[in-house]
Amino acid sequence: MSDFQLNEVDLEQERKEILRAFKGLLRAVKTRSREQTKMIRKAFDVAVEAHKDMRRKSGEPYIYHPIAVARICAEEMGLGTTSVICALLHDTVEDTHITLQDVEDLFGVKTRTIIDGLTKIPEVFDENASIQAENFRKMILTISDDIRVVLIKLADRLHNMRTLDSMKADKQLKIASETKFLYAPLAHRLGLYSVKSELDDLAFKYTDSEVYKQIESSLKSTQDVRNRFIRKFIQPLKEALQFEGYVFDMKVRTKSISSIWKKMQTKEIPFEEVYDLFAIRIIVDTPIELEKSDCWRIYSIVTDFYQPSPERLRDWISTPRANGYESLHTTVMSPQGKWVEVQIRSKRMDEIAERGLAAHYKYKEDKSEDSKFDRWIAEIRELMDNPELSAMDFVNEFKMNLFSDEIYVFTPKGELRVLPTGATILDFAYDIHTDIGDTCIGAKVNMKLVPLSYQLQNGDQIEIITSEKQKPNEDWLRMVASARAKQKIKSSLNEERKAISLDGKEILERKFKQFNIRFIGENLTTLERFYDMPSTGELYFRLAKGKIDLSRLREMENVNGILQIEKKNAQPKDKHELDVYPKINKKEDVLIIGEDFKNIQYRLAKCCNPIPGDLVFGFITTNDGINIHRNNCVNAEHLQSKLAYRCVKSKWKSQKLESHLVSLRLIGIDDVGIVNKITEIISNELNVNMKSISFEANDGLFEGKISVLVYDREHLDQLTQKFELIEGVKRIERWHTEGEEENLDDTVEDVLS
């Protein structure tokens, strides 16, 4: 068979596969009329034709991606025909000859609006941080117009994460960090728990692959034992519920790998001690008016068999979470002495928990009711309406609004308010009304007088005290936890700043008149440069505050009323702009650690102390050359997601042996001579130099912190394996002192300047 014939066969096979994938999509769209089926087919034909010459990094035809995204929308989010059509077309305007007008002509205005929201803003000539932020802001802008834009974008991101293996390592890290930073919290806020968990896990797989594989392996090896335990645990519950006549379903939800790791980190425990690796979910099919009573009756049956923990009862049926989540959670003790989480909910509640928004609006009885979720959308709209918010500021404020933990507090009249955990009196005051926030001087919480900085607790009843003489100040920004309060305070401060700036403008006008200088834009720009001011507004403000010496105007030349600065050989403010960027070809260059890389200064970041063998990347700082960070560094998510344009691929040069400082923490059972055994291994067996050592023993347990010099990751692994053989040592981990996080020197102003 000739190559030509072979290619023909391959293409024919591909066409059949594509058609099979499309039929699978149609099966996933459960409710559709004949007319809707025609429109989906039309969108498919347009997408196939538009993407016909395109392939993904994996080599497969590009059309598989929009089909997969559309299927996620239909199957996993429960979205309808319009969303499926938009998902099929979501990349056409950005990547092909199709225009927004073409989309409108073929599919209508609504489809055009959604596709427009999904189309990225074209990148400008210079790569900069705000492009990514602008794209995110553009997408979020559509929340108040059409929430489907965000849902389709999440489906798009989920499929990209599922197929991330075909990308280069540095791209994987960037996309995974961005997902963890913005998209997973967004999915959580929209009530898409399964999507959120999968995004978190997939991001974790690429940002900390070794730990991911270890936990994945541990879950597989303990699966059979876990299944036997679950069968034994649920058997009596099943029989009791059937006897009572309930129509129900029981599911077992295994905890996601990323949340297992989070629990291990926060509780400082090994995998074996994470008790809630799974949760038993009881889903009862019952009418909406009986939901609450039936869930509590089932709770009563569960606690007849197993002893509950009073501290672990969560009633999200009486007070649902802000994203619409409703469920009754309890943790009970099994006969084997293990704690087990049991979640009790109705079929309606389960659909809202799994599918989030689509189900929320499907079940919403009164379409005009102001649900907590709709209130959150209103807050997002408020953020949009602030013209002074830069793209990066917007992303930061929006991220604040994605709080996952909430507290429930009450007004003096008993009205329930939901605020983020850590909210203060000021957050509550601004939640009531802007004027109340601006004039707040304190409050009575549960009839006791408290200051503005008091952190609210669940169930607090708050009465705000105001004064007409009060006004916001800069310190208030450090006292609030909600994006709404922060924005309102900034807005008030800006109004005050504008009034002060007007005084500064008048001062400058008088001074210009005195020196015969014309009050025109050209002179103001010259003055900004001369006094090194970021804007005219800042110049006016500092003038009014007496921070600028206008007598220095004599140092400039006045030519017919036009100011001129004498030319000086000024050094650029940020050396990295001249010294680093031109020397790095971002597409090809890799920083080889251990070589003289184009005379660029680099150093190992103190926040994670990378050593040869660790997966690393370089970050271009503003005045300190390049910092080398581990991929799983505490700062990696921030750098890779928000400042990816300043990250460079890096790898270790293996030839040169150099020792690197690594800190280890050892935890175990205290025993006589255990310190001797540890120090003996360090000094005698591996000839490793020890820089510091400290041990603490408490109630039969010990914790040791050791700093040693090793050559590379392999050398470190040999050392930790020796430690693991010591009887009594239960856990060993890399460690750095708290508060040792890198000073990134990257405020929003620095990034955007």
529-560 per-position pLDDT tens digit: 888 887 788 888 888 877 788 877 777 888 88
Distance CA 166, CA 161 (A): 10
SS3 label, residue 616? strand
Q: Are residues 236 and 316 in the same domain?
A: yes
Would you state the pLDDT for residue 392? 61
Would you state the pLDDT for residue 594? 62
Would you state the pLDDT for residue 427? 92
Distance CA 307, CA 69 (A): 44
Distance CA 245, CA 618 (A): 62
List phi, psi (to 5°) of 592. -90, 110
Do residues 410 and 443 make contact, with C-beta atoms less than 8 angstroms apart? Answer: no
Do residues 594 and 658 make contact, with C-beta atoms less than 8 angstroms apart? Answer: yes
Q: Does residue 179 belong to any structural domain of this protein?
A: yes
Q: Does residue 270 belong to any structural domain of this protein?
A: yes
Distance CA 418, CA 406 (A): 6
Amino acid at 752: L
SS3 label, residue 338? coil
- The whole-model pTM stands at 0.64
Amino acid at 85: I
Q: Are residues 305 and 161 in the same domain?
A: no
Give me 191's structure tokens: 């009530």
Q: Which residues of the chain have pLDDT under 70?
A: 1-9, 120-145, 323, 357-405, 566-591, 593-600, 622-624, 653-658, 684-688, 699, 736-753
Amino acid at 174: K
Residue 141, domain CATH? 1.10.3210.10
Q: How many CB atoms lie within 10 A of CB 449?
A: 11
Q: Are residues 326 and 358 in the same domain?
A: yes
Q: Which of 323, 343, 363 is the last residue of a domain?
A: 363
Q: Does residue 312 belong to any structural domain of this protein?
A: yes
Distance CA 351, CA 642 (A): 34
Would you state the pLDDT for residue 577? 43
Q: Are residues 179 and 226 in the same domain?
A: no
Q: Please, which residues have CB within 8 angstroms of residue 229's CB and are 6 or more apart in sequence?
A: 334, 336, 338
Q: Are residues 166 and 252 in the same domain?
A: no
Q: Does residue 49 belong to any structural domain of this protein?
A: yes
Domain that includes residue 208, residue range = 3-214
Distance CA 464, CA 491 (A): 21
Q: Are residues 47 and 71 in the same domain?
A: yes
Q: Which of 363, 396, 419 is the last residue of a domain?
A: 363
Query: 95-120 pLDDT, tens per residue?
Result: 888 888 888 899 888 888 888 878 76
Distance CA 420, CA 435 (A): 21
Q: Are residues 92 and 230 in the same domain?
A: no
733 has which bridge partners? 665
Q: Does residue 669 belong to any structural domain of this protein?
A: no
Q: Considering its fold, how many domains does the chain have in total?
A: 3
Q: How far is CA 343 from CA 85, 191, 248, 252, 288, in A?
A: 36, 16, 13, 10, 18
* Active-site amino acid positions: 94-95
Q: Are residues 11 and 122 in the same domain?
A: yes
